[in-house]
A and B are shown apart, each in its own frame.
Chain A
Amino acid sequence: MNSTSTHFVPPRRVGIYEPLHQMGMWGDSFKSNITNGNMNTPSHIIIPNNQKLDNNLSEDTSHGTAGTPHMFDQEASTSRNPDKIQRRLAQNREAARKSRLRKKAYVQQLETSRLKLIQLEQELDRARQQGFYVGNGIDTNPLGFSETMNPGIAAFEMEYGHWVEEQNRQICELRTVLHGHVNDIELRMLVENAMKHYFELFKMKSTAAKADVFFVMSGMWKTSAERFFIWIGGFRPSDLLKVLLPHFDVLTDQQILDVCSLRQSCQQAEDALTQGMEKLQHTLADCVAAGQLGEGSYIPQVNSAMERLEALVSFVNQADHLRHETLQQMYRILTMRQAARGLLALGEYFQRLRALSSSWATRHREPT
């Protein structure tokens, strides 16, 4: 007869306030238990669809109204008919019993959901440690909708995944051809494809920066070790040169001069952008702190602050432009074969950083 607790109910994303309406059936004491408990649960806690419960209710009551039961019949006509009283009392007992069973089933489902939530949180923590971007949007908005569901960023993350795959493939190819014999045409094609691949990334980042510049600046789309070295949303151009240069054993005098000149101008450009960023930080801080603090949480000159944030997009673009130009100049200075070796070295360097991130994330997991 009683079937609620054994039926599978499909999980449904429910706003956090919905279950409380259903709770009204069981009185305020139960409701207050829920509110005093863990109210920090996220919106998409798996709460069972309560339709089954409603259907059973309509079976019980003879009032004909689907929905709220009346446990305590207040009709005055019972005083005239003792049989009616007995029947009413029996119905009430039955309704109360069914109600208790439903409550038990609901609580069991809540417990299961709670355990599932703890499990999900642990998975999230693990994923974050491994350096995957997992938004913190779960608890930022009381309505529970994640603010990080930015389609531009979601698209970028997917494209970046593909970019890394293609990068790995190109690195393999470069390694293979450099160990064997390769004709100049094929070598040029590989080198130019590798260069274009980096330039593609800068274009992707430019689009993503328009969607969410903070996301690009934070480097959340990279692995943790890569993120450690981040400078305005990417790698430092001067680091690029540091990684590449040891791999060229034989450089002509002109090449040596050109490389030294490039190193210096790259460093100067980097320093200039760094100082520009610092000024941006100072002026933004001044803007946010303007007026009386302690009077309210609004920014008096919010438009001014927003304008400063717009400038961040320009900085990210300029930094990528600098990376672009550095790669371009290296290509100009080096021979085709040297450029191929340099691109292989650079690619492998980033691969190693990514591998380091994984090793770091799993370092505590000793085999049992």
Chain B
Amino acid sequence: MDKVMRLASEKGVVIFSKSSCCLSYAVQVLFQDLGVNPKIHEIDKDPECREIEKALMRLGCSKPVPAVFIGGKLVGSTNEVMSMHLSSSLVPLVKPYLC
């Protein structure tokens, strides 16, 4: 979906979340801890919420939120972010986008 890809490229690190999703908040906290200020899109506040959800699922996310994009590319959900961080592959990815 064009809108999703456009939103995903708005900043170095973009997180699609929902205002009620506390796991998305946890992911946001992690990036902030790494020195990155991610752009948060609360899709439940977007009129096209359902379409965005469907588009994110089609891109390969098992759950629509949280969906993390780094440099415009989909990294995955909480699982992927955590695995990457523990295997030291997350920090190099976000390096260009540090504040």
A interface, CB within 8 angstroms of B = 258, 261-262, 265-266, 268-269, 271-273, 275-277, 279-280, 283, 304, 307-308, 311, 314-315, 318, 321-322, 325-326, 328-329, 332
- Residues 6-33 of chain B: 1 if any A CB is under 8 Å from the residue's CB, otherwise 0? 0000000000000011110111011001
Q: Which of B23, B88, B90 contacts A276 (CB 8 A)?
A: B23
Query: Roughly how many angstroms separate A269 CA and B85 CA in the complex, as a whole number?
Result: 8
A322 vs B22: C-alpha distance when bound (angstroms) = 17
With a CB–CB cut-off of 8 A, which chain A residues contact B79? 318, 321
Residues of B in contact (CB 8 Å), total: 21
A268 touches B23 (CB 8 A): no
Interface positions of B from 58 to 79, Cβ below 8 Å from A:
78-79
B-chain residues with CB within 8 Å of residue A269 when the two chains form the complex: 30, 82, 85-86
Q: Complex: how many Å from CA A321 to CA B86?
A: 11
- Chain B interface mostly: helix
The 8 Å CB contact of B33, one of A272, A276, A322, A329, is A272
Contact partner, B26, options A266, A272, A304, A332, Cβ 8 Å: A272
Contact A280 B86 (CB under 8 A): no
A304 to B30, CA, bound (A): 26
Is the pair B22, A280 in contact by a Cβ cutoff of 8 Å? Answer: yes
| Cβ B88 vs Cβ A261 within 8 A | yes
Given known A-B contacts A268-B30, A272-B27, A318-B78, A283 and B85 have beta carbons under 8 A apart:
no
Q: Is the CB of A315 within 8 A of B23?
A: yes
Are B20 and A276 in contact, with the CB atoms below 8 A?
Answer: no
Please report the C-alpha to C-alpha distance between residue A307 and residue B29 in the assembled complex, in whole angstroms: 22
Q: List 25 A-B contacts (CB under 8 A).
A: A258-B88, A262-B88, A265-B86, A265-B91, A266-B86, A268-B33, A268-B85, A271-B33, A272-B26, A272-B27, A273-B26, A275-B25, A276-B29, A279-B22, A279-B25, A283-B20, A307-B20, A311-B22, A315-B22, A318-B23, A321-B78, A321-B82, A322-B86, A325-B82, A329-B87
